[in-house]
Amino acid sequence: MLALDARLEIDRIVETLREQVLGTQRRRGVVVGLSGGIDSSVVATVCARAFGRDKVLGLFMPERDSSGDSLRLGRSVAGQLGIDTILEDIQPALEGIGAYARQMEAIRTAVPGYGEGWKCKLVMASVLESSGLNITRLTVEDPDGKIDTVRLSPAAYLQIVAATNYKQRVRKMTEYYHADRLNYAVAGTPNRLEYDQGFFVKQGDGVADVMPIVHLYKTQVYQLAEYLGIDEEVRTRPPTTDTFSMAQTQEEFYFALPYQLMDLCLYGMNHGISAGVVAAAAGLTAEQVEKVYKDIVSKRRAARYLHARPQLSAAMDRD
């Protein structure tokens, strides 16, 4: 259902990138933020094919909550490609702007003892296990390793998200700094599942000059990665947010199901395929697929704001 010809698709993306960056945008190369994940690794690799390794700059942008694996795997991919890289530690910027302090302030409204040495993440139950409104909760781990999960007030939840979103926005500012000084374009890394469902930060990782894989389901991105020979450890690493201090998968934070099943459901909805047919392919029940379909619609509704362009107070007619 989601199989593609990887070679032909890569050739098409490479040609499109050249037309967009060198032709339309008149830029000399691209900047890519490298996270050690599958999406940024594929984007960096196809960009190296499109422009040559000397016209791709990879950026590592860790902060205090980043996993050490992200930097290690990102460096491995960059080394395999032979592209130039720069490490930009964004922790001082986040501290200066108050990102960590604002996050802690919100968490303490639910967990008063939260402080140095504690860890946290936001979690959401699978839509298949939820009978009603699926509410995001906060999981914390104290310095002794005790884990607890609590509900948040709407204000606390929004403040945690807002404070955490600083991370993606500071990273994007950093990408554009290097793009401006080199006369490069910024290459975004969202795939179709993420972009469709609003799994990105407005004016953060949702912003770019080109998005080479945004039309591809995550399953298809993995097919390209295998064809391109990307490090097996990158290809087998579970997709993570790498945003909170506790380890967190994309599934427990945002998506209803593992990406393979989400892709099948999203494909089914996009092509008008019945829940029963998708259920047979995904190993789910038709009722479960219907729940996922409803969740897709709900997230698309919430994502309208993220996708929206600025609204003008009057039309801008050309003279």
Q: Strand order in 84-87's β-sheet?
A: 84-87, 56-60, 30-33, 185-186
Residue 263 annotated as lining a ligand binding site = no
Residue 240 annotated as lining a ligand binding site = yes
Residue 169 annotated as lining a ligand binding site = yes
What DSSP state is assigned to residue 54?
G
Residue 202 annotated as lining a ligand binding site = yes
Residue 52 annotated as lining a ligand binding site = no
- Is residue 318 packed enough to be buried (19+ CB in 10 Å), middle (13-18) or exposed (0-12)? exposed
CA dihedral 188, 29, 219, 301 (to 10 degrees): 20
Residue 34 annotated as lining a ligand binding site = yes
Residue 209 annotated as lining a ligand binding site = yes
The partner residues of 33 in beta bridges, in order of sequence, read 59
Long-range CB contact pairs, 96-99, < 8 A, 24+: 97/166, 97/170, 98/163, 99/163, 99/164, 99/166, 99/167
Helices and strands per DSSP (H, E), number in the chain? 13, 7
Residue 194 annotated as lining a ligand binding site = yes
Per-residue burial over 15-36, b = 16 or more CB atoms within 10 Å of its CB, e = otherwise: eebeebbbeeeebebbbbbbbb
Residue 38 annotated as lining a ligand binding site = yes
Residue 37 annotated as lining a ligand binding site = yes
Distance separating alpha carbons of residues 94 and 97, to the nearest angstrom: 5
Q: What angle do CA 284, 222, 217 make, to 5 degrees?
A: 60
Residue 23 annotated as lining a ligand binding site = no
Tell me the binding residues for deamido-NAD(+): 169, 202, 209
Tell me the binding residues for ATP: 33-40, 189, 218, 240
Tell me the binding residues for Mg(2+): 39, 194
Tell me the binding residues: 33-40, 169, 189, 194, 202, 209, 218, 240
